[in-house]
Amino acid sequence: MFATLMLNGSCRRFCLVFVALIGLLSLAMAQSVSAPDTTKPAMVDIKDVVVTGQYGSGSVQKSVYEVKVITNAELKAKGANNLREALQTKLNIDLGQDPVYGSSVGINGISGEGIKIMVDGIPIVGRMDGKLDLSQISLNNIERIEIVEGPLSVVYGTDAMGGVINIITKTFQAEKVNLNLKGYYETAGLYNVELNTGFAFKKHQLYLSGGRNFFDGFTTRKSVERFQEWRPKEQYFADAKYVYLADRFRVSLAGSFFRELMLDRSAPKLSYTPADQSWSYVGSDLHNLTYRPRATASLMYKFKESNQLDVLLGYSGFYRYSNKYYKNLVTGVENLVDDKAAQDTSRYHQVTARVTYTLPAWKYRLHFLFGIDINQEFIWQNRIEGEKKKLGDYAAFGSAKISVVEGLDIQPAVRFAYNTVYRTPLIPSLNIRYNRLDKFVIRAGYGRGFRAPSAKELYLDFAIDAHNILGNTKLKAEDGHNANLSFNYYLVKQQHNITLSASGFYNYIFNKIELVRIADVNFTPTYQYTNYKNYSTYGGQVGISYRWGRLQVAASAQATGYNVVYKSGTSPAKVWSPDFSANATYLIPKAELALYVGYKFNGEKPLFSLDGNFKTGKRYAYSLLDVSLSKNFWKNRIQLTVGGKNLAGVENVRTEGVTVLGHTGNTNSVPVGWGRTFFTSLVLHFSK
């Protein structure tokens, strides 16, 4: 019943009418105070405040880590609706895509379970086939996204070997009332409605948001009716956050709820029904229903001596119900398939508690940080051995930030941890930052990473017609080392700002966990998780950015090398992969139009496969180009953004040398996008 309503054309018409009428609604609000001008170029200042892995909050320039920031202004300019779209044109971010299971993200050649994704420091759980669907992470009430490349296992523990992506939600607004009503339409079949509001009263801040996203589905197979490669889906989301701000402490309470229904529909088939002695067209429908609840409570207290206590408590949940139906396409009658193997239920619950205490000493030339980190995960799934599992990770960590001389900071750190499944080694790190007159910033770092296998990698027993996937209880934990070096030069002359950057990295992972093909079972391809002997990536990037008044331009290039050894005695596979990205923002003064252009060249990427023998292949290169224009009307109360995404028209990218395991079996291509699309976003803004 719900699936029928989901695809009802009236829902789509409502969204289009909403976008058309949103401007008319502003006529009734003429007495509202105008909003700040949001058509200015999306610029990232070197003094932007970041919190990921820091001693409290601090500027990007003073961080010992190389933290990359995606601002809210940039997200608006590019028309990003979710985390996948926010990261799509970023250098050193490699996105993989499964039309059913969602996106996977890679940093510096490490992907999947090796990248930790968090919201305000709380990990997001619920990966399907190692992938965390980034399209399920909406960007409503988002202040910025912080990305740290390289392991942060000392602070955040397992799953942070390759890097951390931390989504920071809003905590402060200057206006008493802030209201944003947004409508979004994209020609691929997206119809989105969103409402965000914030209230500020003395020391209190309250944020509320909610909305609905609808996707019609998309396919490149024009000759196949009903079936869609990118499955149609409908999403509902709601968020609430309360913040109490005082001189010495801050209290925050937040909760969010997300619901998605995705339909995986087969092509129609002609079938004979003996009972009715008639022929009819039938199809099979897989209803994938997902819930993601999340709750967070945090406390920050500053003592008189500038000591600071931070307490973070969080819950992250994931529920996924997959039910298969047979549907008569003539009568519309559908029946649940009476087969346990055709149904799947997954429930994940993770509770996180992190407490840190920071204290300065030696006239603020020395800072200490001590912390405890507790993560407890509970899993119920009928496709894992025993159906119930409990995994725990408990740790204590500490670091010291030593300001040896003016501008030179040395930060050693160590983590002691206990994992309920695997013995955890001592995890050290060392980071050094040197700042010369705010013009030269050099960073160097070493970090050890550790990742225990997930419950699915250990216990999964998944079988469909196309392939089988098995867990492996004999897996070894991943253990690795990372070294990195970066250089930034800032030149400021009157209104001209130039930043030159260069960096290099090296990752070495023992016992890398990958999915390999083993002997077929009943003529069905069967895959199992196993350990590679070692897996290393290395490379570097150079970049330049220029900002002058209304103009900002940035370009950067990177080369990443891969060295993979499956087992002792086998020859290593060595491959290089190039990437390039560029973006520009310009405010056209007379027309008061903000122009945004984003481009990324994704070079050939290596593919590794064990299909009887260790094989090396490649995914061909492709380019992405996004262009948008934004303009404010009526004293900035209305913001209109129009643009095009993926203007190069990329859909599926060919692979060579190995076949890729997809949701429907092995393929010789990977999905990337919906081809060329155009979008419009209309925002009605009120503030007082």
pLDDT of residue 26: 33
- The mean per-residue pLDDT over the stretch 415-438 comes to 90
Asked whether residue 273 is assigned to any structural domain, the reply reads no
- pLDDT, tens digit, 9 for 90 and up, residues 188-244: 999 999 999 999 998 999 999 999 999 998 887 665 677 888 889 999 999 999 999
Pairing of strands 115-119, 163-169: parallel
Mean pLDDT, the chain, integer: 84
Q: Give the C-alpha separation, 60 to 50, whole Å.
A: 6
Per the structure block, which two tokens stand in for 143? Answer: 């202040």
pLDDT of residue 17: 36
Asked whether residue 268 is assigned to any structural domain, the reply reads no
- pLDDT, tens digit, 9 for 90 and up, residues 234-280: 999 999 999 999 988 899 999 999 999 999 888 888 887 776 777 88
Q: Give residues with Cβ within 8 angstroms of 121, minimum separation 6.
A: 51, 52, 166, 298, 312, 314, 354
Give the percent of the chain with pLDDT over 70. Answer: 87
The residue ranking higher by pLDDT, 405 or 207, is 207
- 43-57, 159-173, 335-349, 464-478: segment of lowest average pLDDT: 43-57
Cite the DSSP H helix spans in 26-134.
72-77, 83-87
Confidence grade of residue 464 (pLDDT, cut at 50, 70, 90): low
CATH number at residue 464: 2.40.170.20
Confidence grade of residue 23 (pLDDT, cut at 50, 70, 90): very low
Q: How many domains does the chain have?
A: 1
* Other CB atoms within 10 A of residue 161 CB: 28
- Candidate ranges 13-17, 93-97, 201-205, 339-343; pick with highest mean pLDDT: 201-205
pLDDT of residue 192: 96
pLDDT of residue 523: 67
The range of the structural domain enclosing residue 60 comes to 2-263+279-687
Query: Is the confidence at residue 677, as pLDDT, over 50?
Result: yes
Confidence grade of residue 9 (pLDDT, cut at 50, 70, 90): very low
- 14-23, 84-93, 127-136: segment of lowest average pLDDT: 14-23
- The mean per-residue pLDDT over the stretch 95-110 comes to 79
Asked whether residue 271 is assigned to any structural domain, the reply reads no
Confidence grade of residue 45 (pLDDT, cut at 50, 70, 90): very low
Residue type (1 letter), 688 = K
pLDDT of residue 515: 80
- pLDDT, tens digit, 9 for 90 and up, residues 631-640: 988 888 899 9
What angle is formed at CA 125 by the lines to CA 387 and CA 314, rounded to 5 degrees?
Answer: 115
What are the CA-CA distances from residue 93 to residues 106, 264, 475, 661 (Å)?
6, 28, 28, 21
Asked whether residue 144 is assigned to any structural domain, the reply reads yes
Query: Is the confidence at residue 463, as pLDDT, over 70?
Result: no
pLDDT of residue 66: 85
pLDDT of residue 520: 67
Asked whether residue 376 is assigned to any structural domain, the reply reads yes
pLDDT of residue 428: 93
Give the percent of the chain with pLDDT over 90. Answer: 41
pTM: 0.87
- pLDDT, tens digit, 9 for 90 and up, residues 492-518: 888 899 999 999 999 999 998 888 877
Which residue in 583, 579, 624 sits closest to 603, CA to CA?
Answer: 579
- pLDDT, tens digit, 9 for 90 and up, residues 528-569: 888 888 889 999 999 999 999 889 999 999 999 999 888 777
pLDDT of residue 433: 92
Confidence grade of residue 16 (pLDDT, cut at 50, 70, 90): very low
Asked whether residue 330 is assigned to any structural domain, the reply reads yes
Cβ(242)–Cβ(253) under 8 Å? yes
Query: Is the confidence at residue 108, as pLDDT, over 70?
Result: yes
- The mean per-residue pLDDT over the stretch 94-112 comes to 80
Residue type (1 letter), 130 = G
pLDDT of residue 8: 46
What are the CA-CA distances from residue 620 to residues 99, 605, 615, 671 (Å)?
19, 7, 16, 12
Asked whether residue 612 is assigned to any structural domain, the reply reads yes
Per the structure block, which two tokens stand in for 226? Answer: 């009903």
Per the structure block, which two tokens stand in for 299? Answer: 């406390």
pLDDT of residue 33: 32
Confidence grade of residue 43 (pLDDT, cut at 50, 70, 90): very low
pLDDT of residue 47: 45
Asked whether residue 269 is assigned to any structural domain, the reply reads no
Q: Give the C-alpha separation, 529 to 475, whole Å.
A: 8
pLDDT of residue 313: 97
What are the CA-CA distances from residue 587 to residues 38, 590, 595, 596, 681 (Å)?
11, 9, 6, 9, 18
pLDDT of residue 611: 64
Which residue in 237, 262, 201 sits closest to 83, CA to CA?
Answer: 237
pLDDT of residue 64: 85
- pLDDT, tens digit, 9 for 90 and up, residues 284-341: 888 999 999 999 999 999 987 778 999 999 999 999 998 888 888 888 888 888 777 6
The residue ranking higher by pLDDT, 38 or 340, is 340
Element (H, E) at 399: strand 388-405
- pLDDT, tens digit, 9 for 90 and up, residues 574-607: 889 999 999 999 998 877 899 999 999 999 988 8
Q: DSSP label at 26? A: G
- The mean per-residue pLDDT over the stretch 387-398 comes to 90
Cβ(365)–Cβ(387) under 8 Å? no
Q: Whose structure tokens read 């995960």? A: 377
